[in-house]
Amino acid sequence: MLGLFTVVLEVLAGVVAVTVVAIVGVRVARRTRHRRQAALAAGPRRALLAFVADNGEHGAQELVAIPDEAWRAAEPGALALLGKLRGEAHLALVSVFLQRGIARTALGNLHSHSRVKRARAAQVLGDLELRQAVPELCRLLTDRHDEVRVVAVRALGRIGDPAAAWRIIASLDRSDPVPSLLATHTLVQLGAEAEVTLSAALDHPQARVRAVCLDALGLLGATGSVDRMARVLREDSYLDVRVAAATNLGKLGTRSALEPLQQALSPSRPAALRAAAARALGELGAPSAVPILADLLADDEFQVAHEAAHALRRLGPAGADALAAEIDAGRTGSGAHARPSASASHAQEALALSRVGHGERVGAGA
Amino acid sequence: MSRILLVEDDPDIRHLVSYKLTRGGFDVVETADGLAALRAAREDPPDLVLLDVRMPRMSGIEVCRELRAGPLPATVPIIMLTARSRPQDLEQGYAAGATEYIIKPFSPRELQERVEAALARVNS
Amino acid sequence: MTPGLIRDILHYTDVTIFAYFLALNSSYLVLIVLAGLEFGRHLRRAPFAGADDMFRSPLTLPVSVIVPAYNEGPGIVAAVTAMTALRYPRYEVVVVDDGSSDATFELLRAEFDLVEVPRVVPAEVPYQSRVLSVHVARANPETLTVVRKTNGGKADALNVGINLARHPLICMVDADSVLDPDALLSVAKPFGDDPLRVAACGGVVRIANGCKVVGGRVVDVRMPRQWLVRIQVVEYLRAFLMGRTGWSRLGGLVVISGAFGVFRRDLVVEIGGMATDTIGEDAELVVRLHHHLRRRRQDYRVIFVAEPVSWSEAPAGLRVLGRQRRRWHRGIAEILRKHRGMIANPRYGRIGLIALPYYVVFELLAPFVELAALVLLPLGLWADAVDLAFVWRFVLVAYGYGLLVSLASLFIEEVSFHRYPRWGDLVRGVLAAILENFGYRQILAVWQVRGALGALHGRRAEWGVMHRAGFDTGGESAEPVSVGVDR
């Protein structure tokens, strides 16, 4: 027993000593590497900045001629710079990357066995906004690993080729899809040309797909799809999808969205849908919705009444008048010492907030 | 020579813009954060300010408000640099006294043209 | 009992204690290795993690940052200013003034030009105090709300904040926390990457003592001046950074510090908000969340983010430190008692079978065993149950192994985050890892035992005394002090 102890102690002392040495070693090694990398990257970095500042008019050959080691040190900075630039400067920098063969390497790495390599390659292709890479990136949408799929979707968004729309939509219809918000953002980045595909996908059997397409259509301001969205609002079997339809009809800001939203307010509909519709009417900015919203202030559902009040706040002077009228009604209706009715409280809250926005001083309950 | 105060925490963008504008014949004062920018503006008021919205310590909106409240006359253009272009984001800046926006990612050439145009408007 | 029997008992007890120490430290080492793997995984993925895309996307889930404040006058303006300047696309800050008797509110009003607004406060989660008034900043009413309420303790203040929060994610932050500009982005990111499953996400808390803080931001990381705090730095690295990352990787994270955590609001509402009947309401919330979601057989994740996000002032004096640690341990004991039905219950999966039993054996009981060793070893020596050669080797192995665990933490910190750039601070870290074994561990065990006993026995009496103490400032930020009414 004691002998064992002694051995254990010796081993332990050894391991502790090794750990201390390792800590110091790691630090020394890291610092040396950093210094070396910084020294290597300094020249290329200056050249890169000068190059893009001159819109890439001269200096491309010098950048292409930078030795590989120095370029590798400067590459992360150059990739970051890509995301910060537009116009000729961006194009010129991309062409330097292409001449150095970065895109070719990345396209090859999309087939790598390492998922980290595949993801990195997809990221680079997205940064370069390389349209030729779209088919390959679309293939990556069915990758085994979710993290690779996520990067592929983001890269497709950066590139913005509407041809990728239906592949992205299709990739949502699987057991572990890419995050909905990311897919929505990407579909929006594809631009107005993707609208037809998105609109057609509103008939997709998968609820998640319909919800994502509704959000994308709303953000794109796709006024041509009002009728189809209104149908989803009326008929869809999923409440969440109907709520999304209401919300996004409000974002379109078109008169034709008014009618379907008003219908969604009827008391027979679920409270969450009615609240979303009330909110959407405020977003829509149609003063003709004021009387309907004013009626909702007295609704039994907290969320509905609350959203109605704030929608009125967004509807400008007509909405503010309705709120003020509700507060007056609440005051005269009950006795002087009675607490204001729920509807008056909601109105008061919304009105006060609208006045803050306009820089007026308001007191509580005044 | 017009003096431009450049406030940007991202060293890449700062060096890039500074290089571009210096070559375009401007006198560029670089600062990396809002407090340094306010100090620089008090010491020697610039003819134009290029101001990043998203910065540590003090946001560009706050810097803008402080500049307008103190050292900077309303005629001096303040151009904001931002990555967020939603109307409500832009409104915040205009309310704080910004004159115009350049949206990131940006083109160095366009930036120089916008700076020149803003200065020309003041001088005319 | 014959002296021989006593000797035998003492002998075997001492050997058992030794085995316990080996198992305890081995478990730490396993967690640290897991944390190391996790950091490696994370760092390799940083280039394509897409943090910038998240910042630019108009769809990134908005967050309500809830800041309970009780007599935070000296630091509140700097803290709230820093919190309103975080790098995040859309969020609001809700400060809940829990009936402060100092100028907390007046300072905020003056600084942010607050305007009172009538606001209907829903009661989606129950709260016991009364909301006095709601105020918003005139310049940006959508981003800063300050609520005044009657004093009701931290948990109650958080509940009022949850009711007023308008966004789908809520982030609970201590008023004296110093946040990194990217804190929200880091901790809310898992919700964007895996929105269907991520239920909660905790951020790491580091020690701010000694660091240079300018305008509510840590700009230069240094080791604190006092050894007592330096030891805590190493302790935080080992227990919080490495330990929780390891548990997160195992899928068994049960503690998210109240100093910085993000939750899905709908889930918090569903389980009734913060509990006002326990000392460690932040950890209790996470256990209850596990409880609820496991019962529903839902696929979910509770995640820990290791990037430095939040910095807190650690106690620099023994008295305050003692109070803090008694409370933490009492919190653990109370939570384990409240949720004892989950322990070793296969229905609760890894939480029930691994995480909670581990907490009972290696967290709750560890100080008891440590103290037992301090008593029984000399006793065994005196009764001739063990010989001196055994005892000194025992002590050296037990403490040496503990030292190795601390050094392994320092090593992984050096490889992954290396936030302490000075050579001197590195040496101080190593020395603190050694010094920890002389006195600190022992006195810690005494406090922890007292805390645990407090939960089991003196509950009623102590609650009477501490009734409505509100919550503490005095640098005890990492965990709460609020006290509720007895059941």
Q: Which residues of C fall within a CB distance of 8 Å from A22?
A: 411
- Contact criterion met (CB < 8 Å) for B57 and C56: no
Q: Do A76 and C195 touch (CB under 8 A)?
A: no
* pLDDT above 50 (res C476): no
- What is the pLDDT confidence band of residue C482, given thresholds at 50, 70 and 90? very low
Q: How confident is the model at residue A166 (pLDDT cuts 50, 70, 90)?
A: very high
Kindly list the partner chains of chain A, i.e. chains with 3 or more CB atom pairs below 8 Å: B, C
Q: In the structure, what pLDDT confidence band is assigned to residue C379 with cuts at 50, 70 and 90? A: confident
Q: Rounded to two decimals, what is the model's pTM? A: 0.85
A23 and C407 within 8 Å at the Cβ level: the answer is yes
**Per-residue pLDDT at A34 exceeds 70:** yes
Report chain C's mean pLDDT, rounded to a whole number.
86
Tokens representing C183 are 């804190």
B57 vs C55: CB contact, 8 Å cut-off? Answer: no
**Mean pLDDT for the stretch of residues A57-66:** 86
Nearest to A362 among C45, C115, C415 (CB): C115
Nearest chain A CA: its distance from B71 CA (Å): 24
- Is A7's pLDDT higher than 90? no
Cα nearest neighbour of B103 on chain C: C56
Lowest-confidence region among A96-100, C7-11, C351-355: C7-11
Q: Please check whether residue B102 touches A, CB under 8 A.
A: no
pLDDT in tens, C236-267: 999 888 999 999 999 999 988 878 899 999 99
Instruction: For residue C139, list chain B residues with Cβ-Cβ distance below 8 A.
Output: 95
Q: If pLDDT is split at 50, 70 and 90, which confidence band does C483 have?
A: very low
- A352 contacts C194? CB cut-off 8 A: no
Residue C474: per-residue pLDDT:
36
Q: Could you give the C-alpha distances from C180 to B61, C88, C218, C262, in angstroms and in order?
A: 19, 12, 7, 15
- 3-class SS of residue A9: helix
User: Is B15 in CB contact (< 8 Å) with chain A?
Assistant: yes
- Three-class SS state of C101: coil
- Comparing alpha-carbon positions, the chain B residue that sits nearest to A90 is B107
3-state SS string over chain B?
Answer: CCEEEEECCCHHHHHHHHHHHHHCCCEEEEECCHHHHHHHHHHCCCCEEEEECCCCCCCHHHHHHHHHHCCCCCCCCEEEEECCCCHHHHHHHHHHCCCEEEECCECHHHHHHHHHHHHHHHHC
pLDDT of residue C15 exceeding 60:
yes
- pLDDT of C309-349, one tens digit each? 789 889 999 999 999 999 999 999 999 999 999 999 999 99
Q: Rounded mean pLDDT of B37-66?
A: 87
Q: Name chain A contacts of C426, Cβ cutoff 8 Å.
A: 23-24, 27
> What's the confidence (pLDDT) of residue A2?
72
More confident residue, B124 or A163: A163
Report which of residues A87 and A32 the model is more confident about: A32
Write down the ipTM of this complex. 0.83
Phi, psi for residue C146 in degrees, rounded to 5: -125, 125
Q: What is the mean pLDDT of the segment spanning C459-484?
A: 34
Mean pLDDT confidence for A239-266: 92
The whole-number pLDDT of residue A6 equals: 84
User: Which amino acid, one-letter code, is at C262?
Assistant: V
For residue C472, pLDDT over 60 is answered with no
Cβ neighbourhood burial of C140 (10 Å; 0-12, 13-18, 19+) = middle
Residue pLDDT, tens place only, C139-161: 778 889 999 999 999 999 999 99
Which of residues C375 and A3 earns the better pLDDT score? C375
* Mean pLDDT, residues C63-91 taken together: 89
Secondary structure of C247-284 as H, E, C letters: HHHHCCCCCCCCCEEEEEHHHHHHCCCCCCCCCCHHHH
Q: Do B108 and A85 touch (CB under 8 A)?
A: yes
User: Which among C53, C113, C214, C218 is the top mutation candidate for probing chain B, defined by the most B β-carbons within 10 Å of its own β-carbon?
Assistant: C214
If one counts every other C-beta atom within 10 angstroms of the C-beta of residue C194, the result is 17
- pLDDT one-digit tens code per residue, C278-287: 888 889 999 9
Please tell me whether residue C141 adopts helix, strand or coil conformation. coil
pLDDT band at C469 (very low <50, low <70, confident <90, very high): very low
**Beta-bridge mates of residue B52:** B81
Chains meeting C at 3+ CB pairs closer than 8 A?
Answer: A, B
In the sheet where B78-82 sits, what is the strand order? B27-31, B3-7, B48-52, B78-82, B100-103
How high does pLDDT run on average in chain A? Answer: 88
Residue to test with chain A: of B19, B23, B113, B115, most A Cβ within 10 A: B19
| DSSP 3-state of C69 | strand
State the average pLDDT over residues C201-208. Answer: 91
pLDDT for the residue numbered A338: 54
CA–CA dist A267, A274 (Å, integer): 8
From residue C344, alpha-carbon distances to A115, C2, C82, C340, C350 in Å are: 37, 38, 43, 9, 9
